[in-house]
């Protein structure tokens, strides 16, 4: 087992809850944006695993040792398509895509550039790292020590989806399960982190495509998107079920 991943599994949930309360207090006291809690959480976890920090390098060199690059890419794309399709189906709107409307409200190029940089950093880099370290690296591992593996996956994925918007509850729950399966299959936290980054990068890039909002809300666009979302869900479920069976075999 990679020493960094082994050290990560030693961090307890109550420890993280206590640290999170302290961070929230500091954020309120200093009047910082709530996004700072993700940054502080990453810093704390890296501090706790500092003696095995070199294990991260080993983890990055073995990303595709148990899951191929093709599978990694397909999971990133299909997870996003399902998220967009299910969100549109549940809300019949692009309300889960406030970025479309935020961009429209900005009048100057400077505002757009600043927003682009901050949003890219928080959405594509910081968010995936913090969420995977917390929900898969810590919560899933702690649940897995005390509960059957299926219950651990479902509980950690439920907690994960509760931190997402209402229209994304279903897709984030499925995505959480997929990230659990990926992590348990590879025993390498870098794999779900990079896959989460890919998913968020696609999501981040979509609103910048000209006229996409008009096409997605057209009748033909909605039909095509929903068909692709169903196909994507079938692939995701196939991947999850196949690899869950392998994980169970390894635990016997």
SS (H, E, C) 2-53: CHHHHHHCCCCHHHHHHHHHHHHHHHHHHCCCCCHHHHHHHHHHHHHCHHHC
Q: Are 236 and 82 in contact (CB under 8 A)?
A: yes
- The pLDDT value given to residue 95: 43
What does the pLDDT look like over 42-57, one tens digit per residue? Answer: 999 999 998 887 777 7
Averaged pLDDT, 31-37: 83
Is the pTM higher than 0.85? The answer reads yes
Averaged pLDDT, 26-52: 88
Q: Is the pLDDT of residue 228 over 90?
A: yes
Q: What percent of the chain has pLDDT over 70?
A: 88
Q: 102 falls in which pLDDT band (50, 70, 90)?
A: very low
Q: 16 falls in which pLDDT band (50, 70, 90)?
A: very high
- The pLDDT value given to residue 161: 93
Q: Are 189 and 59 in contact (CB under 8 A)?
A: yes
d(CA 172, CA 196): 11
- The pLDDT value given to residue 98: 46
**pLDDT: which is higher, 183 or 116:** 183
Decide: helix, strand or coil at residue 202: helix
d(CA 49, CA 187): 16
């Amino acid at each position: 087992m990679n020493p960094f991943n082994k050290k990560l599994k030693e961090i307890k949930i109550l420890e993280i809850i206590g640290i999170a309360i302290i961070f929230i207090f500091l954020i309120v006291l200093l009047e910082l944006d709530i996004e700072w809690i993700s940054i502080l959480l990453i810093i704390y976890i890296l501090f706790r695993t500092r003696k095995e920090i070199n294990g991260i390098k080993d983890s990055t060199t073995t990303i595709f040792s148990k899951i191929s690059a093709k599978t990694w890419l397909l999971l990133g794309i299909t997870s996003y398509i399902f998220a967009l399709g299910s969100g549109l189906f549940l809300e019949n709107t692009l309300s889960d895509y406030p970025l479309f409307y935020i961009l429209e409200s900005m009048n100057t190029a400077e505002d757009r550039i600043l927003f682009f940089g901050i949003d890219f950093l928080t959405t594509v880099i910081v968010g995936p790292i913090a969420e995977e370290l917390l929900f898969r690296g810590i919560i899933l591992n702690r649940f897995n020590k005390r509960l059957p593996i299926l219950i651990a996956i479902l509980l950690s994925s439920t907690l994960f989806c509760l931190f997402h918007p209402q229209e994304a509850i279903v897709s984030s729950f499925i995505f959480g399960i997929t990230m659990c399966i990926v992590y348990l299959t590879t025993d390498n936290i870098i794999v779900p982190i990079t896959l989460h980054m890919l998913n968020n990068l696609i999501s981040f890039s979509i609103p910048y495509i000209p006229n996409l909002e008009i096409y997605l809300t057209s009748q033909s666009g909605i039909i095509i998107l929903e068909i692709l979302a169903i196909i994507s869900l079938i692939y995701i479920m196939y991947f999850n079920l196949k690899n869950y069976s392998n994980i169970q075999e390894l635990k016997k």
